[in-house]
Structure 1
């Protein structure tokens, strides 16, 4: 493992990072993504990333959120981990997907319509193990909170949203 990745994993597991990162990382990612017309997502230089556009649970307005993702190459799907950097509440984007599972992602510069599924049971357990292998700090985030971290699988959709 590269030293830089090891250092970032260590830093991202700290409580200070959990306090600061939710305010800084998405704002920087959104700005760079917009300036490069969807070609660059800064945080994706470390982890695969996408920009999720989902309708707000209460407002119905489009909400854009840069997120790390776990691409599942064999099935052409993506797993999203609602870790919220190990903070107590579920991130807003997870509530948005629960209310409105039809969404869109910007993946490697392409807009892809998707449908989100909240993972439960054995399917969640398998995805969680894959997430821990992918990014071990998720275990630290889960240990910090009483809630179960939500996992979603995004699959391409070919039909218009409801």
Structure 2
């Protein structure tokens, strides 16, 4: 997470006026359903537009285990995504092996540290494709 619950709160309240632009990149809010709790879980994530879809990266800073939001969307791919004031229902999936190289380049162009994160772990860090439902 970037700056956690406070980031989400300010982003949602201001429709992204506060929180969309962050450290030279762009942030959206991904809301998943907790796979155990069933509760909505919102996470600020770096994103990029990719055709009609949006991309995020399940990096967790290069940790060996994936982020909880990724586990949640594996259990239920129906998510909510918010870019500035545009909040919409979407379906999230991991990029296919054929899609991933170009999508990874798109994401590392906006946040070069993703390459460093991948070097830190043996886990293949997925790029997540978010498409409007």
CA deviation string 1:37-96 (max 9, x = no partner)? x33342623311111111112222111111111112xx2210110111222220011111
| 1:14 corresponds to | none
Unaligned runs of 5+ residues in structure 2 are none
Aligned length: 132
Change (3 A) 1:86 1:43: farther
Which residue number corresponds to residue 39 of structure 1? 16
Q: Between Structure 1 and Structure 2, which shows a larger proportion of strand residues? A: 2
Does the Cα contact within 8 Å between 2:29 and 2:44 map onto a contact in 1? yes
Structure 1's consecutive aligned runs of 4 or more residues displaced over 6 angstroms after TM superposition are: none
In the other structure, the counterpart of 2:63 is 87
Per the normalisation by structure 2, the TM-score is 0.88
Matches within 5 A, 1:1-40: 22=1, 25-36=3-14, 38-40=15-17
Please tell me whether the aligned partners of residues 88 and 147 of structure 1 are also in contact (alpha carbons under 8 angstroms).
yes
CA RMSD, aligned part only? 1.8
Instruction: Give the number of the structure whose alpha-carbon radius of gyration is greater.
Output: 1
Higher relative contact order (CA 8 A, sep 6+): 2
1:51-70 counterparts in 2 under 5 A?
Answer: 51-70=29-48
Q: Is 2:99 the counterpart of 1:117?
A: no
2:117 pairs with one of 116, 122, 141: 141
TM-score by length of 1: 0.73
| Pairwise CA distance, 1:35 | 4.0
Whose helix proportion is higher, 1 or 2?
Answer: 1
Any stretches of 5+ residues in structure 1 without a counterpart?
Answer: 1-21, 158-162
Q: Secondary structure at the residue paired with 1:148?
A: coil
What SS does the aligned partner of 1:58 have?
coil
Secondary structure at 1:67 match in 2: strand
